[in-house]
Amino acid sequence: MTDCLIVAFGGAIGAVCRFLIGKLPIGSNDGFPIKTFLINIIGCFIIGLAVALALKQLSASPKLVMFIKVGICGGFTTFSSFALETGGLIEKGSYFTAAAYVVLSAVLGVAAVFAAHFLAEKIF
C-alpha cells in the first residue's frame, strides 16, 4: 500500500507540472504542439537521469526511484517510459524490436485516436 501512495503522490506532482506547462503562453504559428513536445522531452530527460543516477548510486532508494520514474514521470508523460524502454532495447542490441516498437507505437497510437473519434461519432 505504501508503494501505491508513493506513486500516487509522484503522479500528482507530475500531472500538476504537465497542467502548468500547458498554461504557458508559448506556441508556434504552424500548429506544432510545442508544449506536449517539451513535456515529452523534459520527461525523457528526468526519467533518464533518475535511472542513470539509480544505477550509479547502488544505494539509491528503490522507493525514490519509483517515486520519480513511475510517479512523477508517469503523471507527467508516459512518453518518457516509452523512450526509456526503446533505449533499453537498443542497448541490448534489439534494433529491429526497438524500431518496430517506435513505428508501431506512433502509427497505431495515431490510428487509435482516429478510431476513437470515428467510434464516438457513430455512437454519440
Q: Is 77 annotated as a binding residue?
A: yes
CB contact at 8 A, 80 and 17: no
Rounded to whole angstroms, the Cα distance separating 28 from 88 reads 33
Q: Is 74 annotated as a binding residue?
A: yes
CB contact at 8 A, 18 and 72: no
Rounded to whole angstroms, the Cα distance separating 46 from 18 reads 13
Rounded to whole angstroms, the Cα distance separating 6 from 62 reads 11
- Sort residue 31 into left (φ over 0), alpha (ψ -120 to 50) or beta: left
Rounded to whole angstroms, the Cα distance separating 20 from 117 reads 27
Binding residues: 74, 77
Please enumerate, by residue number, every residue annotated as part of a binding site for Na(+).
74, 77
